[in-house]
Structure formats: structure tokens, C-alpha cells
Amino acid sequence: MIPDTSTEASAAAGPAVSPPASAEVAARQALMGLLARATLKELEAAIERFQPLPKLKDLRPAEVGLVMVQGRAGGDGGPFNLGEATVTRAAVQLEGGATGMSYLLGRAPARARAAAVLDALWQDPALRLAVDDALRPLRRRLAAEAAAQAAETEATKVNFFTMTRGED
Amino acid sequence: MYVAVKGGEDAIRNAHDLLARRRRGDPEVPEIGLDQIAEQLALAVDRVMAEGSLYDRELAALAIKQARGDLIEAIFLARAFRTTLPRFGSSDPVDTGAMRIHRRISATFKDLPGGQVLGPTFDYTHRLLDETLATWARGEEGASALVAASGESTQAAPVPPLAAQENHAALPENGADRGADEMPVAAPMPRVTDLLGDEGLVEASPVDDGSTPPDLTRTPLSFPAERPLRLQALARGDEGFLLALGYSSQRGYARTHPFVGEIRFGTVEVSLFAEELGFAVPLGDIALTECQSVNQFKGSATQPPQFTRGYGLVFGQSERKAMSMALVDRTLRFAELGEEKSAPAQDEEFVLSHCDNVQATGFVEHLKLPHYVDFQAELELVRRMRAEQEQAAEPVSEPSQQEAAE
């Protein structure tokens, strides 16, 4: 990553709602954010690498619920309730290992459980690199989609010129 | 008073079966899929999510299909569905300054930092019907005269190539140049109001005092309503109602003289603080439209003149709704800004009590349900009054009787 001082400055200025994260937490947040954007196929393909899986306990079978999404008055002012979004969450425990959790947008029990499994595997330091590697196709797809969207949008960039009115 | 009726079970069951058949329409025409609705009627889906106050594209598409395209009925279905689910919590407030921009325009500054991008917009289209879109899922046989005359194939409408594919120079710096598997980070996009705010020319956003915003899904609306509660009601309010109110304020019923400082549409990340984890979990992205209106100013003895603001934020792509919301948010702030109350768009009790189309349609449409006992009582009353009037009209012999009639 290219160091970007402007993002650091704006991150420091904004009021943090959730407590600031340590490097370990930040890495897990990035992972969970990635898993939340994955298709079921992508998650299953990543899990396939770790077969046979250790024994799993469904601590929290996948459950669909709502999260109230908040916005801010004026974009940066006090919060208000914008509306709800459907969210699915799940938790699994690897036998003798870590607890994997997932929270993701949508009603998707199978995706949520698969994401929780990968979150659990990732927490094993011995497997972390392998999980990151297994998720490369997903990262590549998201990067390509974001780049394509940015390029499509950039092509609609407009420059308006003001015309002089009257005779002069 | 509403008195229950009994009976009609067979008729009701048959009516619902008939509804299902009409919903399906001609069986020769392929059935529409949720993916087709979500992809090709995307703005209808956005409206159902916004006013249903429930972000879930698939669910909104299902509601539209079930409601035969009646969007208020679909919004009703979405609202009913949400009551069946538990709530996991409230998200961290979304940061629209970090939005991945799909569209961003300003009517006040032509050269704003970050630039203006039109994105997928109806603006500057000629509003002429496009014959090339007149395709038929059933094939040529179903084609209308419109298409037959044009002699075009009825199979698929042509899709224009992407300008970006022809012009690689248009690729933005972040994304294309970075590692191929790193998701490009959206560059922070300053808000127009920040540009003016730096000079103190525009009022600042209300301060976040750390208090939990009121939630009208938990506590019924009460008045006076503070701004966070008003914004929640407006965000889920009926687009048509708010459009009309915003329009009325532009025409002079409450003088607000707005400019569109900025409209942006794009995706933002939503995250939820999970107690059991002790940190905020990113849940994925949602699409939002935001409108910042910049309105006329007021100064006082203690404060130099500055622009005031209205704010609109809506699920999905809905500029008309976001703009209407910003206009009405601004008119409702009349008291705080020391303005005179002169119009319906300023009356929060009037606006907020009537902007919810599920409540409105419920009360209006209940009128068609049986009111037989009610009506019988009124019929009796009218008959009695008429009889009494007739009696009164006759030549009066005993004044005491006339008094009794009143």
C-alpha cells in the first residue's frame, strides 16, 4: 500500500464511534469485510482447500435479523436512524480451536456459516497465510469490479463552462 | 366504530386465487424473475427499500412481484416483513464522505474538488421513447405495431459499449495502478458544504453530542419532533408527498430559496459494533443518495450572515426523493432559524403525520371494508332528521312540540 497522509489526517479528525482497532483487530476487520462481500461459491471454493475440516460446532446457527443503519445530519453531524438492513450472523467453533464469527448484509445463512468457518480458520496462525491465499480470487474480483466501476464513472466526468450573457 | 362481519370465506379465497392468476398474467409470457426485477427495474426496487425502510434488494424485488408492481403495496409488504425479524443492533453512522462515488454533481460550483461525474442519469436525455427497448420476452409474435414498423429484431435491445473500455486513459489512478488484488480505496470526497464551511459561509452540521437518536419504529412519533426524528420520518416518507411539499416551498409556500449544493450517489460500507467481538464488523456495502441543499441566509446581531442547509439521505438511487427530503428538512427548521411559519411544509405535525404512505394507505383504504353497522346508524339518523324537518315545516299549532323537535 502506498502511504497516504491525507487519509490518516481525516481518520484522526473524524469522531470515532467504535473504539480504534489494534493491528490484529484491523486485520480481522478487513478479513470479515472481505468475507461479507463474497458469494457462497467463492467461500466454498476457499473452504475446499482446508478439507478435511476439523470438527466444527455451530455455536450460533446462522440467524437472520436487522441492523438499524444510521446516517448523520448534514453528512457529518449528529446521527439519525436512516432505515434497517437485513443481516445474517453465525458463529462456529473449531474443535480445540478458535471461534469464527460472521455478520453480513442480506438473508444468507449458508454464506454466513461459510464466512464464520473461514474466520475461524484464519485465526489459527498456522493457517492464516493459506486462508489469505485462498481468498485471492475474491480480492481480485472485488478489485476488478471496483476499478471497472470507477472507470465507467470517470468516463462521465463533466466540465461545465459558464457562458457570458448579453452583448459583451 | 368498526363492527366485525362474518362470512364470505369462499368468495375471499376465490378472489385471492384469481389475484394469483392475474398476477401471473398470460402463461404464454415467461414469468419474471427476481433477478430481472432487481437488475432491470432497479429504481423501483430502490424506492421500495427506501420507503419500506428495509435495505434488501432481493426482498424488495419479491415484494414488487407479489404486489404486481404496486409499489405502495410492495412497501407495505416490506414493512410487514421487518416486524418478523429480531434486531441485532444499530450500525455505526455511515460515512458518506468515504462514499465510492457513482455520481456526484453540484449546481453551485462547476469546478469542485474531486470533479463532477454524471453517472447513470436521466438528466440531459430527450425523454423520447426508445423503440430499440421494445423487446418481447415471448418473441416476435407478441411484438406490437411500434416494433413491427421499425423492422428491428424483438430479441434484445442493443447495449452501448462502455466509453471506459475504449479509453483506458480514463482509468483512475487508484485501482488500475495498484496491486491487482487490492481493492482500491475510494478517495475521500470533500462535501461542497465543507468548502463553504471552511470560510464560515455556511452553517455547520448539528454537533454529535453522543446521544442515541430517537427511533420511531420503537417509540411512536411525538411532537415537537427533534431533527434526528424528523430525518428518520422523512427518509422513509412517501416520495410523492415530499416532492409536492418541497415543490410547494419552492413556489413560495415557505420561502427557502434552495440551491443544490451537491448530490452524490454511490456505495458506503456499513459496520456494526459486535459486543461479543469488541470491535466494529464491516457488513458490506449499501447504495445511498445524499443531497445537500444550500439555502438562503440569515444573520443576527451576534452572527454574520451565512447560508443555511437542508439534508436528504435515502437508500438506493433516488435523487428526487433525496432532494425533496432536503427541501422539507429545511422548511421544518423554520423555528430554529427564526423564520415565520406560513405554510404547510413548515408544519412538522402535518408533514410527519402524513408522510408515511403505509399509514396513509391503511387509513384511506380501510374505508372500503364493511362499515354496515356504522352506515345503518347514520342512515337512521338522517331519516329521523328528515322526518323532524318535515314536521317542523308543517304549520305549527302547538309551539311546545317544535321545541321538542330541536
Q: What does the mean pLDDT of chain B come to?
A: 87
Q: What angle do CA A101, A102, A108 make, to 5 degrees?
A: 140
Same domain for B248 and B223: yes
Same domain for B78 and B14: yes
Q: Is B284 on the interface with A (CB under 8 A)?
A: yes
Same domain for B252 and B295: yes
Q: What angle do CA A125, A126, A129 make, to 5 degrees?
A: 80
Q: Return the higher-pLDDT residue of B378 and B298.
A: B378
Instruction: Report which residue type is found at B221.
Output: L
**By residue range, what is the domain housing residue B349?**
96-114+187-358
The sheet that has B116-117: what strands, in order across it?
Answer: A157-158, B116-117, B100-105, B259-274, B279-298, B306-315
Q: Using CB atoms, pick whichever of B172, B211, B278 lies closest to residue A150.
A: B172
Residues 181-240 of B with CB under 8 A from A: 181-185, 188, 191, 193-194, 204-209, 211, 213-217, 227-229, 231-232, 235-236
pLDDT tens-digit profile, chain A (168 residues): 344 434 333 344 444 456 666 999 999 999 999 999 999 999 999 999 999 999 999 999 999 999 999 999 999 999 999 999 999 999 999 988 899 999 999 999 999 999 999 999 999 999 999 999 999 999 999 999 999 999 999 999 988 777 766 544
Mean pLDDT across the stretch B35-50? 98
What's the pLDDT at A105?
98
- Is B139 domain-assigned? yes
Q: Find, in chain B, the residue whose alpha carbon is nearest to that of A133.
A: B181
Contacts of B236 in chain A (CB under 8 A): 83
Q: Which residues contact A162 (CB under 8 A, 6 or more apart)?
A: B110
What percent of chain B stands above pLDDT 90?
Answer: 67
- Is B124 domain-assigned? no
Mean pLDDT across the stretch B143-152? 53
What's the pLDDT at A96?
83
- Is B120 domain-assigned? no
Rounded to whole angstroms, how far apart are CA atoms A6 and A26?
Answer: 19
Same domain for B248 and B291: yes
What percent of chain B stands above pLDDT 70?
Answer: 86
What's the pLDDT at A1?
39
Burial of B42 from C-beta contacts in 10 A (0-12 / 13-18 / 19+): middle
Q: Decide if pLDDT at B257 tops 90.
A: no
Same domain for B400 and B291: no
ipTM associated with this complex: 0.87
Mean pLDDT across the stretch B43-70? 98
Same domain for B261 and B172: no
Same domain for B154 and B67: no
Q: Which three cell numbers stand for residue B202?
A: 455556511
Same domain for B181 and B193: no
pLDDT tens, position by position, A121-155? 999 999 999 999 999 999 999 999 999 999 999 99
Same domain for B286 and B300: yes
User: What is the total count of domains within chain B?
Assistant: 4
The strand pair at A79-94 and A99-105 is best described as antiparallel
Task: Answer whether A79 sits within 8 Å of B228, measured CB to CB.
Answer: yes
Model's pTM, two decimal places? 0.87
What's the pLDDT at B159?
81
Same domain for B347 and B245: yes
Contacts of B180 in chain A (CB under 8 A): 140, 143-144
Min CA distance, B345 vs chain A (Å)? 19
The β-bridge partners of A103 are: A89
Q: Which residues contact B68 (CB under 8 A, 6 or more apart)?
A: B22, B23
Question: Could you tell me the CA-to-CA distances from B106 to A77, B100, B116, B247 in Å, in that order?
Answer: 21, 17, 7, 20
- Is B126 domain-assigned? no
Same domain for B342 and B211: yes
Nearest to B285 by CA among B259, B248, B316, B254: B316
- Is B157 domain-assigned? yes
Contacts of A67 in chain B (CB under 8 A): 87-91, 270, 272, 283
Min CA distance, B186 vs chain A (Å)? 9
Contacts of B209 in chain A (CB under 8 A): 78
Min CA distance, B301 vs chain A (Å)? 25
* Candidates A32, A72, A102, A160, partner chain B, best to mutate (most B CBs within 10 A): A72
Same domain for B254 and B156: no
Mean pLDDT across the stretch B68-74? 98
Q: Decide if pLDDT at B296 tops 60.
A: yes
Q: What is the number of other CB atoms lying within 10 angstroms of the CB of residue B384?
A: 10
